[in-house]
Amino acid sequence: MAVTSDLPYSINDADNHFTEPPDCFERYIDPSKLHLAIRYVLTPDGRRMQLFAGQPSKFLSSASGQVTFSQEELTKMLGAPVAFDPQDSDLIRRDVPGVKLNRLNPLRDLSEEERKAFIDEWRHRSEAYGNRDLRLALMDEQGIDKALMFPAAAHDIEYEFADNIEALYANIRAFNRWIKEEVGYVAQNRMWVPPYIALADPVLAVQELETVIADGATMIQTKSGHAHGGRDNPFGGRSLADPAFDRFWSICNEADIRLAVHLGGTDYQKYGADWSEDPEAVFGDFDAFQWMMYWGDRPAMELTSGLILHNFFGRFPNMKVCLSEMGTVWLPYTMRKMDHAFLMGRKAKWAENGRLDRRPSEIFRQHFVVAPYPEENVQRVVAEVGIEPIVFGSDFPHGEGLAYPSKYVEAQLSAFSEQDQKLIMRDNLEKFLLR
């Protein structure tokens, strides 16, 4: 079952995923901080568990194994690193791409035998998910020229270490070392794997930024939603445009660094206390209200609005932002509300005389690109915000992703001209990536 593309041009993908090895933090962390490393262990009852500086995940559901161990049990678990087969399916995400989709589900209309063959094919190909050279070859088969690759660990690292700044930066340094040494921040000018930088400590953030730029990074990644509240307020927040980060963003602006933001863990559920919800609920236990209000859309809306209405781009005009795996359902509403505030003369924080120099929607079109989810209505969002910010994102190889990205054109973009199809599938992201 060959992976092929029948498009007359190659694709650029703004939402692709690369699998990090389970021991990358232990191998690349400063040896003096090994006890703080993210690592996998075997529990006394034989289960595999991921620990963060010796603590079980706060992101997963309690039903998924978030338990309290005795010190004796914890010591036994952490006594020595456990050797794991890198192909162990329990440790490496081996989603079959597309099986969680509806209209674009690749298993639709297949016989049982054909479904089995499809699943077997992608399980066989899963080695490429975490191997740079195999992945570049698979990209060739899929018709992908360039792609943003997001390893899973970066999505929740700041959530897990919100109140442990030392562990946060030690693991970030290890994570970025792994990218540099084993994949590359920009591999063959085709794969962009953005190093992750937390803004919890502005001084340490600048140090890490200068390190990754010196090592060749042209793009960085930060968390979704507001920035960390700082050492004195670890469960609070700050705007990414807060002057506390001006030195950080000045360096990015001068070096023409791009910013990528991907869906990931936040602490937005804390706001549920005002709605009779548990403010300490973890993602795995979210009910429908919590999932709707605190997972994805609201962090994306606040991030976008905060950057624009806090005059981030007036102060750092070279900055460009890519929003991956956050969809676009929220976007038309956000553009209308920001423009309305602007036209009513509402002040923009950290702007001279409190006034932006142009409409927020214009700022968005000039400084952002955003990838719709594979089954979203692209016509609707383009009608509201224009085609310039819209880029293709496959979410491969996740169950919500596309195994055959070229099929997206016929399925979702048939109403657009061939020129506009190419803007979405290639040219808009090409402009963003190549600065």
Sign, CA torsion 261/281/236/32 = negative
pLDDT of residue 50: 86
Alpha helices in 297-359 (DSSP H): 297-309, 312-315, 331-343
Domain stops at, among 9, 43, 78: 78
Q: Is the residue at 108 inside a domain?
A: no
Q: Is the residue at 18 inside a domain?
A: no
Q: The pTM is what? A: 0.91
Q: Is the residue at 241 inside a domain?
A: yes
pLDDT in tens, 160-205: 999 999 999 999 999 999 999 999 999 999 999 999 999 999 999 9
Dist CA 185 CA 332 (whole Å): 33
Percent of residues, the chain, with pLDDT higher than 70: 91
pLDDT in tens, 63-108: 444 445 565 665 565 554 444 444 444 433 446 899 888 889 898 8
Q: Is the residue at 114 inside a domain?
A: no
Sign, CA torsion 127/132/133/135 = positive
Q: Is the residue at 101 inside a domain?
A: no
Based on the domain organization, do 397 and 279 belong to the same domain? yes
Region 380-399: mean pLDDT is: 96
Expressed as residue numbers, the domain containing 38 is 24-78
Domain stops at, among 78, 110, 144: 78
Token pair recorded at residue 48: 């595999």
Based on the domain organization, do 182 and 49 belong to the same domain? no
Q: How many domains does the chain have?
A: 2
Dist CA 392 CA 430 (whole Å): 11
Based on the domain organization, do 289 and 384 belong to the same domain? yes
Based on the domain organization, do 303 and 227 belong to the same domain? yes
Neighbours of 203 (CB within 10 A): 8
DSSP strand E in 159-276: where?
A: 186-187, 191-192, 219-222, 227-228, 237-238, 258-262
Domain CATH number, residue 385: 3.20.20.140
Q: Is the residue at 375 inside a domain?
A: yes
Based on the domain organization, do 69 and 184 belong to the same domain? no
